[in-house]
Amino acid sequence: MVSKKLSRVTTILIIIMLILIVLGSGLLVGYNYIMDQTTRFKAYDAAIAAKENPTPTPEATTLDESAGTAGTQTGDETGSQTAGTTAAATTEALPSVQLADETTPGAVMIYISLGDDPKAIAAKLKTLGVIDNTSLFTLLSKFNGFDSLYRSGTHFVTKDMSYDEIMYTLTQNPVTAQIRFAEDLTYEEFKQVLLDNDVIFNESKMDEMVENPSAYFDYDFLSDLPKPAVLDEDEQSSLLNDREWLLQGYLFPDTYNFDLNTTEEEILETILDNTETKLSDAYYARAEEIGMTMDQVITLASVIQMESGTYDDMAKVSRVFHNRLDNGDYLQSCATVNYLRLKLGKDPVFIVTQEDLEMDSLYNTYVTAGLPPGPICSPSEAAIKAALYPDIDNPDLYYFAAKGDGTNVFASTYEEHLANIATYLEPLQEAADKGEIVPYESTESSDEAEVQQGDGDEGSIGGA
């Protein structure tokens, strides 16, 4: 009887020991998994930090140098060595990881929509061939506490990543393109910048929005814009006369961040929100004061932008144009002619040709008085201010010519202007003809075509 009781107790003890061993092993495995996972996540954090700040800041460098100096001054070499060894050990303890991006071999792009739950994300990953088991992914997601942490936007992962590494990657900030749109971009150039930065968008859809913005957006400045033009695709002159892209000029030059899979509407809204902020009430009040609509101001500013590179110069160019507008005269701006040349696939010039003068277009300010039908580029805020506040120290300016350095030389009389052309502009065009320089839009001028022809008709020679 005693023997049976001992045997039962022994069995129970063995079972308990086995249970404890299993539990202990499970705890050990779980602990090792968590520690390994934590180490890997730290490695990803370190890699992300290194990518965001590839070089030490001056402050950090100074602090490091100060710390080293302090150690030397106190003679605490042992402490310094210990600290260095500890730091090195910490760095060495982290495994080497490579953050996946569009350049990573085998990288797969996944776009997480706002509101996607783990099940939807798992389905996308399986469709892309990144994971095999959606149930395991959703289970591990919940176990790891990732369910509410996924960030909408574009991410890159690889098939070599473990499930938890994929999850961790999808909780980080999405991949975005930081894009600087320069001043003087046309709408076509604006789209090319987006494409060059790998932003994915529907070009035809964006074209529709830019052609007819009032159908998609609600901004105060849209009320000044004309109705969308109906273009005759069979007639090239139609493209040269009608205002094709109504939002051209309103895509404010600045630095923006876009998700690589953002929508056309989000791209334009991001920029137009900025445009509306820049066009302050004070600008509208000033435009009304000088008898212009905001659209006319932006149009004038776009021409000023292409004619100059500094604010002081812009204000003087603006004075020339305002004087000409007040007199009902031709702007005679090479910037508008070069805009036409570019649309026709021709190179820009410093001095317009007879062929340029014969272009039948409302954008040809040598043959059409007043402003062109719309902006020829995206003007900077400096150019907008110049359009609103022309130079007041030189009220009689009526001519200007490019100097070749981004600025212009100005004149109040036709005789002075002819001398400036001979001194500055003709040598620039000769150098351009030889291929020694390329005419930059920001250094262009006008009024030179008639001089090239030797016409001498002061009334038809412009002054920009």
Domains of the chain: which residue ranges? 108-170, 176-278, 292-464
291, pLDDT greater than 70: yes
Instruction: Tell me the per-residue pLDDT of 165-217, one tens digit each, with 9 for 90 and over.
Output: 899 999 999 999 999 999 999 999 999 999 999 999 999 999 999 999 999 99
Residues of the chain with pLDDT > 70: what percent?
Answer: 72
State the chain's mean pLDDT as an integer: 80
Mean pLDDT on 339-346: 89
d(C-alpha 162, C-alpha 148), whole Å: 19
pLDDT of residue 427: 85
For the domain bounded by 108-170, which CATH number is listed? 3.30.1490.480
Mean pLDDT on 75-103: 53
pLDDT of residue 63: 37
- Bigger pLDDT: 32 vs 422: 422
